[in-house]
Amino acid sequence: MSCPINTEDIGKLKIFIEFVSSQPSLLNLPQLGFFKKFIEQLGGKIPEGGFQHNAGAKAEAKDDIESDAKMEEPKPEEDSEPESDIELDLMDTIIDGDTDPSQEMGEDGKIPTDDEIDQASEFRGKAAASYSNKEYEDAINFYTQAILLNPTHALFYAKRAQAFLKLCKPNAAIRDCNRALHLNPDNASAYKFRGRANRLLGNWESAAKDLRQACKLDYDDETDEWLKEVTPNAKKIELHKIKQERKKAEKEDKARRERVQKAKEANKKAAEENEKKQSNTSDDDFMSSLGPDVMDAFNDPEIAAALQDVMSNPANIMKYQNNPKVMNLLKKFAGATGGFPGGMPGMGGMGGFPNFPGAQTQTQTHPKSDSKPKEEYDDGLD
């Protein structure tokens, strides 16, 4: 079964455990209480006392942590441009939002009587007259009375929002517009005045969206003028966000490709180490199969040198035909490996042997043969 934890995380865990093992009292720190509890659940016991800062261990741990941080810490964003650095227009016309308590919204679910509907209409008329006279506080109070009598009329909230805007209270206006749109999602006035409130607060994208919807539902020149005012800033912010999203996607793709590459390299390294381990194991098994007498013979420099000599050139076996000690060992090797290279009589071919004690690399030299043809002697006789 494959391990569900990746190699990199296992390496970090190993570093942590090695460091804690050197100073177990470290686990008494509150931040590591979860690990202390885990150890104790398994029957372990953590020594009492506070953590003693050991200079050597501390330096070593610091090196490990810094190394891991360099590996894991994401690279800082390049060419990153925060939204505050965008050059926007009309920034000097933004106002601070009002912090007044929420205004009266009427009773939820109330069904007004006919008499209440009529009274609410009267208050609406008084509110409109006050608004025309620029008596905006009075207009707000009259609209509030109308809302209390008939809280189901979306236009009352939208018109009260308009009066709030005259008093530079955009947050109150937004609350009223949200209520109006809850009652009537197609109320153009609510979109218009909420868009204006967002513009005063510097919420350029929200303002453009609301004003655009208001023009779509019920076009008027004032709404269109407000929309033209906020559109340039809204577009700049939109383009900035698109640019940032593209950079983010590119970074994520680059990080993903780097993770894949690291995983491939780790897998390749693990495969190479496993192959090397298996090769060493095979060599050890082969040497063990030869028997203790053969293994002891390797300590004899004469035998080791002779074996290396024959391995470099099978024809050199002829040198040792009269040496029983060497020949006996060579025959055992031939039996274990299937013969010697070069097809010596009765011994067949054989691949390379593993390294063994006492063997030295020898270079077989061969006398140069004179390939020049001999000159024929002509005695002049037929």
* Residue 117 shares a structural domain with residue 213: yes
Whether 61 is in a domain gets the answer: yes
**Pairwise pLDDT comparison (41 vs 171), residue with the higher score:** 171
C-alpha separations of 115 from 25, 108, 145, 310, 320 in Å? 79, 19, 14, 122, 130
Q: Which domain holds residue 329?
A: 290-360
What is the mean pLDDT of the segment spanning 270-290?
A: 73
Among 236, 255, 275, identify where a domain stops: 236
Query: Distance between CA 319 and CA 306 in Å, rounded?
Result: 9
- Inter-residue contact 321 to 314 (CB < 8 Å): no
Residue pLDDT, tens place only, 208-251: 999 999 999 999 999 999 999 999 999 999 999 999 999 999 99
CATH code where residue 207 lies: 1.25.40.10
Report the pLDDT value the prediction gives residue 285, as an integer from 0 to 100: 62
Whether 96 is in a domain gets the answer: no
For residue 65, give the amino acid letter. I
- Residues listed for the chain: 382
Whether 352 is in a domain gets the answer: yes
Confidence bin at 348 (pLDDT 50/70/90): very low
How is residue 94 written in tokens?
A: 């933004």
**Pairwise pLDDT comparison (90 vs 286), residue with the higher score:** 90
Report the pLDDT value the prediction gives residue 49, as an integer from 0 to 100: 66
Residue pLDDT, tens place only, 368-381: 445 444 455 454 54
Q: Is 342 left (phi over 0), alpha (psi -120 to 50) or beta?
A: left
Report the pLDDT value the prediction gives residue 347, as an integer from 0 to 100: 42
Does 365 have pLDDT greater than 50?
no
What is the mean pLDDT of the segment spanning 193-198?
A: 98
Most confident by average pLDDT, 17-21, 83-87, 265-269: 265-269
Report the pLDDT value the prediction gives residue 51, as an integer from 0 to 100: 53
Whether 82 is in a domain gets the answer: no
Does 366 have pLDDT greater than 50?
no
Report the pLDDT value the prediction gives residue 303, as an integer from 0 to 100: 78
Mean pLDDT of the chain: 79
Question: What is the model's pTM?
Answer: 0.51
Does 156 have pLDDT greater than 90?
yes
293: part of which helix (H) or strand (E)?
A: helix 292-297
Report the pLDDT value the prediction gives residue 23, as an integer from 0 to 100: 73
Long-range (24+ apart) CB contacts under 8 A made by 126-133 are 127/159, 127/160, 127/163, 128/159, 131/159, 131/162, 131/163, 131/166
* Residue 197 shares a structural domain with residue 302: no
Report the pLDDT value the prediction gives residue 313, as an integer from 0 to 100: 84
Query: Distance between CA 254 and CA 145 in Å, rounded?
Result: 61
Confidence bin at 135 (pLDDT 50/70/90): very high
Among 236, 256, 279, identify where a domain stops: 236
Does 340 have pLDDT greater than 90?
no
Whether 132 is in a domain gets the answer: yes
Whether 95 is in a domain gets the answer: no
The total number of structural domains that make up the chain? 3
Residue pLDDT, tens place only, 306-324: 878 877 888 888 888 888 8
Among 46, 71, 96, identify where a domain stops: 71
Report the pLDDT value the prediction gives residue 339, as an integer from 0 to 100: 55
Whether 294 is in a domain gets the answer: yes
**Pairwise pLDDT comparison (127 vs 108), residue with the higher score:** 127
Whether 181 is in a domain gets the answer: yes
Report the pLDDT value the prediction gives residue 43, as an integer from 0 to 100: 79
* Residue 134 shares a structural domain with residue 47: no
What Rg value do the Cα atoms of the chain yield, rounded?
Answer: 46
| CA torsion, ordered 131, 136, 138, 143, to nearest 10 deg | 70
Report the pLDDT value the prediction gives residue 202, as an integer from 0 to 100: 95
Residue pLDDT, tens place only, 79-108: 555 555 788 988 889 999 999 999 999 998
Report the pLDDT value the prediction gives residue 382, as an integer from 0 to 100: 44
